Amino acid sequence: MNMQYMTGEQDPCSARMGWALALVFAVLLINIVMLPRTALDERATLRLVHDSLGLVLAVMAAVRLWWFARDPAPSPPAGLPQASFAFNRAILVALCLVFAVTGVIGFVYAWGEGRDVVLFGVTLPHLVARSEAVRIPMGYLHSTLAFYYLMLFGIWLVFGLYQHRRYGAGLRRLLPGRRV
């Protein structure tokens, strides 16, 4: 990942990570939409999927943040100003940061609620005691961050569409992959 790639491209490993993050997030988003629409006594499987995919997404986002910090930024596509490209990448960094933090807060919230956290069938030990003083603020923060990453995603999408219209940056770069 330390190699220089053509203008407007990133390394294949980052491209694969982008697709994996997008896929995991899409499945988790469907799960998030389904959870409140399911009867309380029928949520066990949805919570297992939510906890497991939340962990996967948080870890992948943390790895991606490490790559953002470690590796040089790719060159912007031809015609796209460096400042505009940097703003787009800053939104992606913020999105990954929110994914990573939301995962950690989600586990603290679940333990504060007194709920078992089951990851891929393995129940984790409670690292936080059941407590309303933990459950309530962590639950609100977990939900708030979920709305925040949806807002960040919307800003990133609108800004990418603006970059395409204003600078001809291309729509394909809005999908995960080699193009940045």
- Would 45 be classed as within a structural domain? yes
Q: How many domains are there within the chain?
A: 1
The CA distance from 56 to 150, in Å, is 18
pLDDT tens readout for residues 8-54? 778 888 889 989 999 999 999 999 999 989 998 898 899 999 999 99
The CA distance from 110 to 125, in Å, is 12
- Would 105 be classed as within a structural domain? yes
- Would 6 be classed as within a structural domain? no
- Would 69 be classed as within a structural domain? yes
Q: Which domain holds residue 147?
A: 12-174
- Would 4 be classed as within a structural domain? no
The CA distance from 25 to 100, in Å, is 12
pLDDT tens readout for residues 133-165? 999 999 999 999 999 989 999 999 999 999 999
DSSP lists the bridge partners of residue 119 as: 122
- Would 180 be classed as within a structural domain? no
pTM of the model: 0.87
- Would 3 be classed as within a structural domain? no
- Would 167 be classed as within a structural domain? yes
